[in-house]
């Protein structure tokens, strides 16, 4: 065994045993967010992040159940005890760490601007001058747009990214800012064929975060460390890579 494998096994032994007997409610966003999480025709949640949740919980020997929650209420549901953890493509940011704790990251992708193919623009504030930019409410993208693009563009806020995508397709907005992987999936669809990724926004770790992690209540160290051990285990044994290969052409870790 490698040193990493030994440490992972030790962490699982230390933290997994005490939690294994209890049900862990994993909060996911109730709104579809393909290819990370969405409902199939039978009403079953599927997607990259759903498979990762299953794998992390199995590796950590946790009895996890999915608990869909509206995105704008997902942190209050955690702090209020309705769910035990959040695994819903939530970026680890300084602002959120004032309220909740996070596991180690399990993926990290840049934020991008997507617009109609006919528009000659990039991801700079200058190219968004006079445009309407759609963003999802209560996300890093809303915070970023309001800091960097307000002087140039009109910011239009949506409850879900799907609503922003639909308005982009319909021509009611000029562009949207969102996660690069989710938007790559969108532009590959018939609806998204109108549009293309214009570029990645300039990085700002204070707003965009340090990757996506599992959110837990502050002080819930046993669960946080169990999830850390599960994440480390699927990274070490190749499970993370195997799941990723079914959805993406390159690593997103």
Are residues 40 and 103 both part of a single domain?
yes
Q: Could you tell me the pTM of the whole model?
A: 0.83
Strand order in the sheet with 132-136: 154-158, 132-136, 175-179, 111-116, 195-200
Are residues 45 and 116 both part of a single domain?
no
pLDDT at 6 over 80: no
Bridge partners, 112 (sequence order): 178, 200
Enter the tokens of residue 178: 């969102």
Residues 6+ away with beta carbon under 8 Å from 180: 109, 110, 111, 112, 197, 200
Q: Are 44 and 68 in contact, with CB atoms under 8 Å apart? A: no
Q: Provide the residue range defining the domain that includes 139.
A: 111-207
* Res. 215 pLDDT band, cuts 50 70 90: very high
Assess if residue 17 is contained within a domain.
Answer: yes
Are residues 93 and 117 both part of a single domain?
no
Tens of pLDDT, residue by residue over 163-208, are 999 999 999 999 999 999 999 999 999 999 999 999 999 999 999 9
pLDDT at 140 over 50: yes
Tally the domains of the chain: 2
* Res. 16 pLDDT band, cuts 50 70 90: very low
Assess if residue 60 is contained within a domain.
Answer: yes
Are residues 83 and 193 both part of a single domain?
no
pLDDT value at position 35?
94
Tens of pLDDT, residue by residue over 79-115, are 999 999 999 999 999 999 999 999 999 999 999 999 9
Are residues 102 and 214 both part of a single domain?
yes
Are residues 203 and 222 both part of a single domain?
no
Q: Are 73 and 178 in contact, with CB atoms under 8 Å apart? A: no
How long is the chain? 253
With b for 16 or more beta-carbon neighbours within 10 A and e for fewer, the 105-122 pattern comes to bbbbbebbbbbbeeeebe
Assess if residue 251 is contained within a domain.
Answer: no
* Res. 18 pLDDT band, cuts 50 70 90: low
pLDDT value at position 9?
54
């Amino acid at each position: 065994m490698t040193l990493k494998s030994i440490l992972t096994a030790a962490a699982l032994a230390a933290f997994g045993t005490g939690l294994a007997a209890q049900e862990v409610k994993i909060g996911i966003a109730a709104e579809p967010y393909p290819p990370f999480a969405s409902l199939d025709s039978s009403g079953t949640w599927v997607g990259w992040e759903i498979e990762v949740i299953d794998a992390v919980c199995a590796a950590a020997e946790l009895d996890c159940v999915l608990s869909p929650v509206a995105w704008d209420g997902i942190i209050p549901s955690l702090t209020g005890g309705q769910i035990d953890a959040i695994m819903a493509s939530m970026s680890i940011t300084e602002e959120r760490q004032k309220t909740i704790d996070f596991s180690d990251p399990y993926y990290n992708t840049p934020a991008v601007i997507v617009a109609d193919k006919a528009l000659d623009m990039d991801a700079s504030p200058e190219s968004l001058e006079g445009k309407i930019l759609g963003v999802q409410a209560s996300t890093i993208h809303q915070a970023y747009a309001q800091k960097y693009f307000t002087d140039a563009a009109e910011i239009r806020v949506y409850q879900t990214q799907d609503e922003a995508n639909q308005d982009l397709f319909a021509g009611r907005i000029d562009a949207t800012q969102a996660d690069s992987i989710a938007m790559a999936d969108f532009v590959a669809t018939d609806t998204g064929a109108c549009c293309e990724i214009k570029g990645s926004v300039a990085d700002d770790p204070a707003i965009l975060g340090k990757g996506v992690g599992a959110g837990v209540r502050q002080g819930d160290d046993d669960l946080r460390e169990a999830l850390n051990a599960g994440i480390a285990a699927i990274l070490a044994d190749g499970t993370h890579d195997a799941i990723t290969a079914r959805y993406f052409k390159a690593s997103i870790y």
